């Protein structure tokens, strides 16, 4: 996958992503549970940011959390994921975004499996799986 140039305006982001991905990545939306492309995906490969192409998660750290969203117990490189306190919707959560493009990915929770004990709960629409061939 080649490096993508970064959109400069929201109009350019909308054109690149289309309405559904734009709503999630740029407007911090959430796809409905059990509807995304990857929640039940078991293919090997690298999950890249759907906004900018940055490699974020590996299939080796993906597990079935039962939540209806793709779940990972670790990122490929923690510095590529930014964390933000999120108190929207009457909950106290930690939002995760792509450190490179700022796209909203999902949230991280302290209830994941070992060895990390964390659960990155990520929207399928925020990801592009590069399958290992
Ligand atoms: Fe990105």
pLDDT in tens, 20-78: 999 999 999 999 999 999 999 999 999 999 999 999 999 999 999 999 999 999 999 99
Measured in Å, residue 86 CA sits from the centre of ligand 1 at 19
Residue 4 has pLDDT above 90, yes or no: no
CATH numbers and ranges of domains, the chain? 10-131 (2.170.150.20)
Measured in Å, residue 115 CA sits from the centre of ligand 1 at 26
| Residue-level pLDDT at 68 | 98
* Residue 121 a catalytic site member: yes
User: What's the CA gap between 26 and 35, in Å, rounded?
Assistant: 19
By 3-state DSSP, what share of the chain in percent is helix, strand and coil, each rounded to 5? 20, 30, 50
Residue-wise pLDDT for 76-95, tens only, equals 999 999 999 999 999 999 99
3-state DSSP call for residue 38?
A: coil
Task: Kindly list the distances between the CA atom of residue 64 and the CA atoms of 21, 72, 112, in Å, as whole numbers in the listed order.
Answer: 23, 9, 10
Measured in Å, residue 123 CA sits from the centre of ligand 1 at 13
Measured in Å, residue 42 CA sits from the centre of ligand 1 at 22
Task: Give the predicted TM-score (pTM) of the model.
Answer: 0.95
């Amino acid at each position: 996958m080649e490096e993508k140039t970064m959109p400069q305006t929201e109009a350019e982001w909308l054109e690149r992503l289309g309405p559904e991905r734009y709503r999630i990545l740029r407007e911090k939306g959430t796809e409905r549970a059990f509807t995304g492309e990857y929640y039940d995906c078991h293919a090997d490969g690298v999950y890249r940011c759907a906004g900018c192409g940055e490699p974020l998660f590996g299939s080796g750290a993906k597990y079935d959390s039962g939540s209806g969203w793709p779940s990972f117990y670790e990122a490929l490189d923690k510095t590529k994921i930014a964390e933000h306190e999120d108190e929207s919707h009457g909950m106290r959560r930690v939002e995760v975004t792509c450190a490179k493009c700022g796209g909203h990915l999902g949230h991280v929770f302290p209830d994941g499996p070992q060895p990390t004990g964390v659960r990155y709960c990520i929207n399928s629409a925020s990801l592009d799986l590069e399958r290992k061939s």
